[in-house]
Amino acid sequence: MPAIIPTGDRSVEPGFPSTAPRANQPGMTSRIDRRFAALGAERRAALIAFVMAGDPDPATSLAIVKALPKAGADLIELGMPFTDPMADGPAIQAAGLRALRAGQTMRKTLALARDFRAGDADTPIVLMGYFNPIYVYGVDAFLSDAGAAGVDGLIVVDLPPEEDDELCLPALGAGLNFIRLATPTTDDQRLPAVLANTSGFVYYVSIAGVTGAAAPDAAKVAAAVARVKRHTDLPVAVGFGVRDAASAAAIARFADGVVVGTALVEATRASLIDGEAGPHTVEAVAGLVERLAAGVRGARATAKATEASR
C-alpha cells in the first residue's frame, strides 16, 4: 500500500492577486463554450488531453501543459493529485503519487494553471479530481483562486447532484463551468438530475470501470451519446479507454469531444529515467497528442468518404 502523502495546505505558498480577471464571469460565454462553438463550425470533435498536474515534477509538468495546444489539444484537463482516488486506474493513480512525491499541492496546481494562462488566453483549462483537496483548501478560497488562475471548469467525480450546494452551485456562481459525468449505468430516469446544473459539456464515461481498464465498444457508445443528446444541447465528450489515434477517430465520428488521459500519463511514465523526467519526456507526450489530434481531425471526413462510397 503506498504511503499517504499530504495534499498540502493553501497557506504555505503566496496567494493569487484578487484583481486578476476570472475565467468566465456569470452570464458570459465561457472559453469552453467558445471552443466547442468554433469546433462545431469546423465540423469536428475536440481533442481533450488529460495530464496530471505536477507529474513527474512541477517544471516538467508545466512544460508538458504548454506543449499540448501546439500539439493539437483543444481543451486541457489537469488532474488534481489526491492520495485516495476512486475512479482512476493504476496508471493515473501512479501519476498522482509521482506528483505528490514531487511536492505538488493544490496551490501549485493552481499556479501551474496561472502560468499556462499567462501565455495562452484561449485554450480552456478544466481541473479534474476529487472533492477532498478542495474541501481542505476551502471552497470559497479555491473558487476565488481558481478563477484568478484562469481555470474554466471543474470535474469533481465524487460529488453527485444531491450535493450540488457543496461545490457545483458555488462554482457556477463564480463563473466556472461544472462538468458532470454520465455513465453506462445512468438511465433516462437519472439523466435529468445529472444534467440539471451541468455546463460546458457532458463527460460520458464509455466503460463501466476505472480509467484505462478496457477499450470502449464504439457502436454502444454512439448509441449512448445519442441518448444523452436527446436530453441536452450541451456538447458530449467521451472518455475512459481511448488509447490511440484509431480509437480516438472512432469516437470522434459521433461525439463532440474525445478525452484521452491514461495513454498520456503512460507516455510520461515510459519516458522517465530512474523515476525522473528524461530528455524526451515533453516530446513523448506532445508526440502522442499530435497523433491523436490527427485521428480526431480526420475522423468525420473519413466517415463521410466511407458513407459516400457505399
User: Among this protein's residues, is 188 annotated catalytic?
Assistant: no
Q: Are 291 and 248 in contact (CB under 8 A)?
A: no
Apex CA 12: angle with CA 78 and CA 93, to 5°?
35
C-alpha grid cell for residue 23? 475565467
Cβ–Cβ contacts within 10 Å for residue 280, how many? 13
Instruction: Mark 254-265 as b/e (b = at least 16 C-beta within 10 Å).
Output: bbbbbbbbbbbb
Task: Count how many Cα atoms sit within 13 Å of the Cα of residue 47 in the half-sphere of its side chain.
Answer: 30
User: Catalytic residue among 33, 57, 74, 88, which?
Assistant: 88
Residues 6+ apart with CB under 8 A from 243: 212, 215, 260, 262, 263
User: Among this protein's residues, is 13 annotated catalytic?
Assistant: no
What span, in angstroms and rounded, lies between the C-alpha atoms of 166 and 173?
12
User: Catalytic residue among 77, 145, 152, 256, which?
Assistant: 77
Residues identified as active-site: 77, 88
